[in-house]
Amino acid sequence: MTKHTSNLKAEKIVGGVHASPRHDSAHKHVTGTAVYIDDIVEPFGTLHAGLGLANVAHGTIRSMDLSAVRAAPGVVDVLTASDIPGVNEISPSGMNDDPVLADGKVEFHGQPIFCVIAETREQARRAARLAKIEYEELPAVIDIWDVDVETHRQVTTPLTLKRGDAAAALASAPRRVKGRMRLGGQDHFYLEGQVSLAIPGEDEDVLVYCSTQGPSETQHMVAHALGVPSHSVAIEVRRMGGGFGGKETQANQCAALAAIAAKKLKRAVKLRLDRDEDMLATGKRHDFAIDYDVGFDEEGRILGVDYTFALRAGFSADLSGPVGDRALFHCDNAYFFPHVHAKSAPLYTNTVSNTAFRGFGGPQGMVGAERVIDEVAFAVGKDPLEIRKLNFYDAMGVDGERNITPYHQKVEDCIIQRIVAELEESADYAGRRKAIAEFNAGSPVVKRGLALTPVKFGISFTKTESNQAGALVHVYTDGSVHMNHGGTEMGQGLHLKVAQVVAEEFQIDLDRVKITATTTAKVPNTSPTAASSGADLNGMAAQDAARQIKDRLIDFAAETHQIPRDQVVFLPNRVRVGNEEIAFNELVRQAYMNRIQLSAAGFYKTPKIHWDRAKGRGHAFYYYAYGAACSEVSVDTLTGEYVVERTDILHDTGRSLNRAIDIGQVEGGFIQGMGWLTTEELWWDDKGRLRTHAPSTYKIPLASDRPKIFNVALTNWSEAYEPTIHRSKAVGEPPLPLGLAVLHALSDAVASVADHRICPRLDAPATPERVLMAVERLKAQVAK
């Protein structure tokens, strides 16, 4: 865009809120001109780093001979723990358990021990393989399935939620079922792997271009590792090639190493992990072992639940504490539990430290909720959907008692009934349930299954201080606007949504608002772009900044025209000042001439929320987002192979800021959730080596894995119960657990081999193998 002419007669601006402008970078994505960290033209003399990874799961380093590494062609330096000038520690929880480079002891296979710096990346990678390291191997705990949850070492303080008396409710319940579910983890598989480019500056300064969701935290970690004040470190990121939580804390290691090398060698240093290294050395979604004990009546109404959510934390705390917390926060999904006791157990294992992943434990909690629903449904012989509906929280506006969560927050905005009712109708659940029964009766090998599962997802960081955001808005004298905020772009369209908010505030066309790279130098102390909060927090902060400037412009216009403030009205690309209309650009120019400040820093903090972790009580979430999915599958009971025949989704994003973007989030979230629960399997061998560490072995969904028929709609009637940004709702994480519909449809198909009399207890990921083995198990039980 070189020249801009504003339409001064427009009735509506182009690209305001509730419109659906395309992703701001779409034209750059398709032409290959969108710049990711590895695409930045390197400064002269840039060096490249490669990692040396541990090849035992647990042990002490007896000796380390790096002479061949140092002597390899192109090698400039090799960094070990002793080269770290500050603190060898990047634990986001401050637990001092996350070294940048292993120092003396190794706690998982793939842990970085040293970092080679060479003239080329290939030289660094080749050299890294020449190390001779001897270990004193120690016993390793690889998975959590067989450990004693009560006594096994935990990496951080667990959480317990309780309301009422679960033990008594269970003891007196007419019906009771206990069980355990194994739920696998998930690799983020962002297409752009971890990468940082560090450029040394004068004094202690360093600028790091880093693919990070949390620039401020990366800044603090780099400063910590360098032993310099945070003011010496700047982190910048224009966009990531995907994040999904995998670049919330996991970006820090590459950033710190690149920065340390750059400062030491006084040359720019880039560290970009190979895909295999990325998957071996960085954390993933937590696997969970979910123990449940549910009491219910003959109708299928849940009376009491006891849960233990044991999670594979890996070797350090990282975010495992809050991930376990969020699992508990969602162990109810959309259901009211009159009596509940739930605890988390973040277990130490000699595997990579697990971390944030879209949903942050929430989806795992919901899997536990939905398994319990299935158990109850099979026990009382009813369609699981009936049991779901029977146990929902009271609908918004109902003055009932079934509205208190296990963490004592009142659910005030529940719209799941209407969503499920509309979806049941549009997907013809009842008609297809009947058709499927008929099909299955005549089809001994291929069985169909159907499930409709709800989602209720709590929106806010449970770490209260994270619920704040800043923005910086400049209006230049030509009326063009520079927008910056603390959120990061990873494909979710955050920058576009915030730009829409700013355009709406000033009533100027969207292309007048320049989106700029996130940098710690413009907006400080920001929260990671996580917890679905990006648009809620940063949209509000940017709106605040824009309003400050707008207020000054109104004051200025009112004063110079001697009219009341309410007679200054922002119209599309112009401002009505009394009886006169004046172009926005012209008003801005006049304001500048009169020395009006045209720049503002905006700020926002989410109201109402509080959380007392020790007591397990609080108003943890500002509001909830809702949705539901209905999936139908076909399963081959000879091989366990399956096809998703159809999925219908109805999802709530309140008064959507951008429906096109939100539809993309819902479609993508569902497929990612489906992948987690079906074909994405992380597999460690008996030596603790992750053997699914590349797309050849780790299978995320393909285009041909999406449902044959895929109907996705957003509610057109809901709006946020609280005054969120333009009454929209968050959309990043809530759609992911819509994928549960596929797991439960598979379970339903499997159940058909035993005439729906036995709960299949299908574990996840439900690979064809697990599906077949569940079929075999049910057939064997029937035969008994």
660 part of the interface to another protein, by CB under 8 A? yes
Strand partners, 744: none
The residues near 372 (Cβ < 8 Å, ≥ 6 apart) are 292, 294, 302, 305
176 part of the interface to another protein, by CB under 8 A? no
Instruction: Report, in Å, the least distance between residue 518 CB and another protein.
Output: 15
Instruction: Report, in Å, the least distance between residue 180 CB and another protein.
Output: 20
Instruction: Report, in Å, the least distance between residue 517 CB and another protein.
Output: 15
141 part of the interface to another protein, by CB under 8 A? no
CA distances from 297 to 387, 484, 655, 704 (A): 11, 55, 39, 43
Give the residue with the Cβ less far from another protein, 440 or 606: 440
d(CA 626, CA 721): 12
Residues 75-114 that bind another protein (CB under 8 A): none
708 part of the interface to another protein, by CB under 8 A? yes
CB 739 within 8 A of CB 672: yes
Size, binding site for another protein by CB under 8 A:
91
Residues 188-217 that bind another protein (CB under 8 A): 188-193
Instruction: Name residue 434's amino acid.
Output: K
Please tell me whether residue 572 adopts helix, strand or coil conformation: coil
d(CA 431, CA 672): 28
Residues 676-705 that bind another protein (CB under 8 A): 679, 681, 683, 685, 691-692, 694-697, 699-705
Residues 4-23 that bind another protein (CB under 8 A): 22-23
757 part of the interface to another protein, by CB under 8 A? no
Instruction: Name residue 603's amino acid.
Output: F
d(CA 456, CA 733): 11
Residues 278-337 that bind another protein (CB under 8 A): none
What does the block give as tokens for 336? Answer: 């009211």
Pick one of 81, 379, 446, 558: the residue that binds another protein (CB under 8 A).
446
C-alpha neighbours within 13 Å on the C-beta side of residue 492: 29
Instruction: Report, in Å, the least distance between residue 655 CB and another protein.
Output: 20
772 part of the interface to another protein, by CB under 8 A? yes
Give the residue with the Cβ less far from another protein, 32 or 139: 32
Gap between the terminal Cα atoms of the chain: 74
Give the residue with the Cβ less far from another protein, 342 or 510: 510
Give the residue with the Cβ less far from another protein, 106 or 195: 195
Instruction: Report, in Å, the least distance between residue 149 CB and another protein.
Output: 25
Pick one of 4, 9, 12, 27: the residue that binds another protein (CB under 8 A).
27
Please tell me whether residue 468 adopts helix, strand or coil conformation: strand
Scanning 153-161, 337-345, 622-630, 667-675 for contacts with another protein by CB under 8 A, the matching segment is 667-675
Q: Between the CA atoms of 152, 158, 163 and 167, what dihedral angle is there, to the nearest 10 degrees? A: 10
Instruction: Report, in Å, the least distance between residue 508 CB and another protein.
Output: 23
Pick one of 25, 186, 282, 752: the residue that binds another protein (CB under 8 A).
25
C-alpha neighbours within 13 Å on the C-beta side of residue 45: 8
Please tell me whether residue 242 adopts helix, strand or coil conformation: coil
Residues 233-262 that bind another protein (CB under 8 A): 239-244
Give the residue with the Cβ less far from another protein, 34 or 95: 34
Please tell me whether residue 63 adopts helix, strand or coil conformation: strand
Instruction: Report, in Å, the least distance between residue 284 CB and another protein.
Output: 14
Query: DSSP for 343-401?
Result: EEEEEE-SSPPP---TTTTHHHHHHHHHHHHHHHHHHHT--HHHHHHHHBPPPTT---S
d(CA 571, CA 113): 60
Instruction: Report, in Å, the least distance between residue 588 CB and another protein.
Output: 28
Instruction: Report, in Å, the least distance between residue 764 CB and another protein.
Output: 13
Give the residue with the Cβ less far from another protein, 446 or 601: 446
Nearest to 603 by CA among 512, 469, 446: 469
Strand pairing of 160-163 and 339-348? antiparallel
Query: DSSP for 119-179?
Result: SSHHHHHHHHTT-EEEEEE------STTS-TTTS-BSS---EEEES-HHHHHHH-SEEEEE
Nearest to 538 by CA among 601, 490, 466, 486: 486
Scanning 183-191, 537-545, 585-593, 718-726 for contacts with another protein by CB under 8 A, the matching segment is 183-191
39 part of the interface to another protein, by CB under 8 A? yes
Give the residue with the Cβ less far from another protein, 369 or 436: 436
393 part of the interface to another protein, by CB under 8 A? no
Residues 450-509 that bind another protein (CB under 8 A): 490-493
Pick one of 654, 669, 734, 737: the residue that binds another protein (CB under 8 A).
669
Please tell me whether residue 624 adopts helix, strand or coil conformation: strand
Query: In which residue are the tokens 């291929």 written?
Result: 446
74 part of the interface to another protein, by CB under 8 A? no
- Give phi and psi for 134, each to the nearest 5: -105, 135
Give the residue with the Cβ less far from another protein, 264 or 651: 651
Site pattern 610..649 for another protein (x: CB under 8 A): ------------------------xxx-xxxxxx------
Instruction: Report, in Å, the least distance between residue 509 CB and another protein.
Output: 18
Give the residue with the Cβ less far from another protein, 445 or 614: 445
Helices (H), 617-739: 659-677
Give the residue with the Cβ less far from another protein, 507 or 679: 679
374 part of the interface to another protein, by CB under 8 A? no
Pick one of 672, 715, 728, 752: the residue that binds another protein (CB under 8 A).
672
Give the residue with the Cβ less far from another protein, 390 or 455: 455
CA distances from 564 to 19, 193, 301, 560 (A): 32, 55, 61, 11
Give the residue with the Cβ less far from another protein, 332 or 733: 733
Pick one of 396, 408, 668, 777: the residue that binds another protein (CB under 8 A).
668
Site pattern 110..139 for another protein (x: CB under 8 A): ------------x--xx--x----------
Scanning 305-313, 422-430, 442-450, 455-463 for contacts with another protein by CB under 8 A, the matching segment is 442-450
Please give the sequence-ordered ranges of beta strands (E in DSSP) within 219-372, or none if there are none: 233-237, 269-272, 288-296, 302-314, 339-348
What does the block give as tokens for 229? Answer: 């004040």
Is residue 733 part of the annotated active site? The answer reads: yes
d(CA 494, CA 530): 11
Q: Which one is catalytic: 680, 733, 769, 776?
A: 733
29 part of the interface to another protein, by CB under 8 A? yes
Instruction: Report, in Å, the least distance between residue 581 CB and another protein.
Output: 32
Catalogue the active-site residues.
Answer: 733
